[in-house]
Chain A
Amino acid sequence: MTDELDLLKKDWQKKEEHLPKLSFNDIHTMLWKKSSSIVKWILIISILEILLPQLLYLIPSMKEGMEIYKQAGVSPYFFGVSAVYYIGVAYFIYQFYRRYKEISVLDNAKSLMRKIIKTRRTVKHYVIFSLSVCFIMFVIFAFFIYFNDAFLLSIEGVSERTSEVSLEKIKTAAILAMIIGGIAFTIVLGGIYFLLYGLLLKKLKRNYSQLKKLEV
């Protein structure tokens, strides 16, 4: 019995003449077009993810906030956590750069996919780390509100309110707000992140699992 695929092969090779033909100039102009490859998108999104939290400090209210922390004695903790955070960020940027550099279109398909997934995993760990640090900051504030009345009173508007509502109540409300705010912040940012990468890498993951299935 003749091999059906060989029948197809013969026809496939005959079909060449029907293929489009691009001129030298057509191809030449393409060289300077922008790539829209998945690797480029991972790079852009990752840079944004590293830069965006840093931009928050440029907002004026954040600067004012720093003054309040200084007065209330939160600063040492704040700076302690920040130091840990930036050491972490530096580590992740280094890891990301190293893995990103390893990605090469000249690799075999499987290895290329694995390297892209590894690079993305670095970003994933960075995001988890970042969100954890944010959450810890919220928890530190909650603690300070609990143990340090002066901190709570130093927040604008609180001292005027104490005549109407008891300090205890304001305290409970503030702690609750911190915890709920912290959880909501973490979930929302985490959600955006996983959605973004989920969509970006859906096809890659499907193909990678197809390739891996062949190895069983």
Chain B
Amino acid sequence: MNKELEHQFVTELESNQNIVHKVCTLYTNDRDSHNDLFQEITIQLWKAYPKFRGDSKFSTWMYRVALNTAITLYRKSKRRIQTQDYESVIFKIKADEYDETEEQQLKLMYKAVKQLGDIDKALVFLYLEDKDYSEISETLGITEVNARVKMNRIKTKLRTILNP
């Protein structure tokens, strides 16, 4: 029974591992921490797996566990970048790296997103993953209205980076 559960879990995680990798990419800065966070998320997923009833999709369930681990449970923060206020990040980027090309724009945006606070990052991540506001608000435990307001603020900020 246990072996079966193990096999089932690893197979599911293997085919959905992109979600975890994306969270790790957003929340860490080098390969070692990426792997470390991936492992911690895997452990947390596995520990919670018996409670997974299959009434939601495995991937939906993964988002929550992965983000909770990255934001709250993951303790090692030595190698993480210092998060800063959005404003200061934008000004810095605006001043020395602005470029018209789309690729450059994307680079700037990735950089800006990576420097967001943990919570803002989670919001952007779920948005990029095409989650609707009801799912975003449920995952983070805030109201849908607040999720929308916050997201709009982040969008405005990003817009000002690209169109100063």
Tell me the A residues contacting B by CB distance below 8 Å. Answer: 1, 3-5, 7-9, 11-13, 16, 19-24, 27-28, 30-31, 33-39, 41, 104-113, 116, 200, 203-204, 206-207, 210-211, 214-215
Contacts and interface: CB of A to CB of B under 8 A. Distances in A.
Interface in B99-143: 102, 105-106, 109-110, 113, 117-120, 122, 124, 127-130, 138-143
Given A19-B22, A112-B68, A9 B17 contact: no
Contacts of B155: 3-5
A113 B44 CA distance: 16
A3 B152 CA distance: 11
B65 A19 contact: no
B75 A214 contact: no
A207 B117 contact: yes
Contact of B130 (A9, A41, A105, A109): A9
A72 to B, nearest CB: 48
B89 interface: no
Contacts of B94: none
Interface string B6-19: 10011101100110
Contact of B40 (A4, A37, A207): A37
Contacts of B6: 28, 31
B71 interface: yes
B127 A5 contact: yes
Contacts of A41: 75
Given A19-B17, A109-B122, A210-B119, 4 more contacts: A22-B17, A33-B39, A109-B141, A210-B117
Contacts of B130: 9, 13
A101 to B, nearest CB: 13
Contacts of B77: 203
B79 interface: no
A196 B102 CA distance: 47
B92 interface: no
B137 to A, nearest CB: 9
B21 A105 contact: no
Contacts of A30: 38-39, 42-43
A36 B75 contact: yes
Contacts of B47: 35, 105
Given A5-B127, A8-B109, A19-B21, A31 B141 contact: no
A211 B71 CA distance: 11
Contacts of B57: none
A204 B72 contact: yes
B1 interface: no
B40 A109 contact: no
B18 A19 contact: yes
A109 B68 contact: yes
A211 B102 CA distance: 32
Contact of B65 (A106, A204, A214): A106
Contacts of B146: 214-215
B141 A108 contact: yes
> Which 3 pairs show the lowest CB-CB distances between chains A and B?
A110-B141, A108-B141, A37-B73
